[in-house]
Amino acid sequence: MSRPDDSVLIQRYLAGDGRAFDQLMAAHEGRVFAISLRILRDREEALDATQETFITVFRKAGSFEGRSAFSTWLYRVAVNTCYTMLRKKARRPTASLPEGYDPPDLSAADRIRSAELRPMLEDALAILPEEFGPAVLLSDLEGLPLRSVAEILEIPLGTVKSRVFRGRKLLAEHLGNLMTASGYPKEDKHE
């Protein structure tokens, strides 16, 4: 039995069916948590952000106008929740994610290389300005199409393309040329 469409579930919830909201939450909580974890870099804070996102959606479901997909609106709420939490923390630095808590990097063909580069990539993502971070995170790490990123961030597609390009450029500058022509990390000459 397939799950009803999000738009059907939101209408059922607004009509008083609490189980419909549970189904919406079950369908999207994994992605909301993954987005929150990548932005906040702390498992407990990501769990809090996920919970806060769904509380906000629960309270404001009536304001969802249906001009975009429910998931687009939901992920926008999640991104806003995370950045509000970061601002409240006054941007104090956080520790890297403990091993095993971050979502797997499904695009990495070589898990060993991925594991070696992950701490450097996390540090580089943490220094991206708030203007570029969400666009890079949603497009490159979450694999969302640029049109969806534009809807989630409520900015024009051209702006998303520019922010992703500039964010990638900043990441590349921060990370430097970590890879050799063979595709393996460069050896540190200072070790």
pLDDT tens, residue by residue, 87-127: 887 555 555 555 545 555 544 445 555 556 667 777 777 77
Burial degree of 140 (CB within 10 A; 0-12, 13-18, 19+): middle
Question: In the prediction, which pLDDT does 96 show?
Answer: 55
Mention every residue, 6+ apart, whose C-beta is less than 8 A from residue 59.
Answer: none
Distance CA 12, CA 143 (A): 30
- 142 pLDDT band (50/70/90 cuts)? confident
* Stretch among 51-55, 139-143, 181-185 having the lowest mean pLDDT: 181-185
Question: In the prediction, which pLDDT does 178 show?
Answer: 55
What domains are there in the chain, each with its CATH number?
Answer: 1-95 (1.10.1740.10), 104-179 (1.10.10.10)
pTM over 0.75: no
